[in-house]
Amino acid sequence: MKKLVDVYPYKIKNGVPLFLIFKRSANKIYANQWRMVGGKVQEGESRWETGLRELKEETGLTPLKFWTIPSVNQFYEAKTDSVHTIPAFAAQIDAEQQIELDDEHTEYKWVGIEGIEPYIPWPEQRRLMKLTYDILTDQFLQILPEWHIEI
């Protein structure tokens, strides 16, 4: 079974997290859907290394902070009769960095948590974005040292 990862890039603007989402190209899997960064783990790669590589390949970005979201994206795929359990990572982006899209995407936009519903159709991705938002904004939550990944 293929190993996958999700990466949720965000920036902080006026103390509020905004998520970077991408519209998939018409000739790629999930054609014309808005999504976050994701991809397949390559031979010899850890999942967090895959997350960093995919972020760089799809956007040209290197994060200021990279951390494990303490939950997973999990769903059933009928075509392969498989349950996918996908680690999720958050990547804080410098708001001034230039985004360079690869051929997998046609456009991007920054959205606040209240604006994701029209764009993100997958409930698990919405849930993980909300969890990330809560960790970043709830005074009683924080990014724990165990989640932080040194890059």
Determine the average pLDDT of the residues in 49-67: 97
Query: How far is residue 89's CA from residue 132's CA, in Å, rounded to a whole number?
Result: 9
Q: Is 48 inside a domain boundary?
A: yes
DSSP strand pairing (105-111 vs 16-24): antiparallel
Q: Does the pTM exceed 0.85?
A: yes
pLDDT at 49 over 80: yes
Q: Is 51 inside a domain boundary?
A: yes
pLDDT at 30 over 90: no
Domain tally, the chain: 1
Q: Is 59 inside a domain boundary?
A: yes
Q: Is 28 inside a domain boundary?
A: yes
pLDDT at 1 over 80: no
Write out the residue range of the structural domain in which residue 56 sits.
Answer: 4-137
Write down the pLDDT at residue 150: 95
Structure token digits, residue 67? 């951390």
Query: How far is residue 107's CA from residue 117's CA, in Å, rounded to a whole number?
Result: 18
Q: Is 151 inside a domain boundary?
A: no
Write down the pLDDT at residue 136: 97
Q: Is 41 inside a domain boundary?
A: yes
Mean pLDDT of the chain: 95
Write down the pLDDT at residue 54: 97
In tens, the pLDDT along 99-133 reads 999 999 999 999 999 999 999 999 999 999 999 99
In terms of residues, how long is the chain? 151
CATH number at residue 34: 3.90.79.10
pLDDT at 34 over 90: yes
Q: Is 147 inside a domain boundary?
A: no
Q: Is 142 inside a domain boundary?
A: no
Query: How far is residue 147's CA from residue 149's CA, in Å, rounded to a whole number?
Result: 6
Give the whole-number percent of the chain exceeding pLDDT 90. 94
Query: How far is residue 31's CA from residue 24's CA, in Å, rounded to a whole number?
Result: 5
Determine the average pLDDT of the residues in 44-65: 97
Query: How far is residue 3's CA from residue 79's CA, in Å, rounded to a whole number?
Result: 16
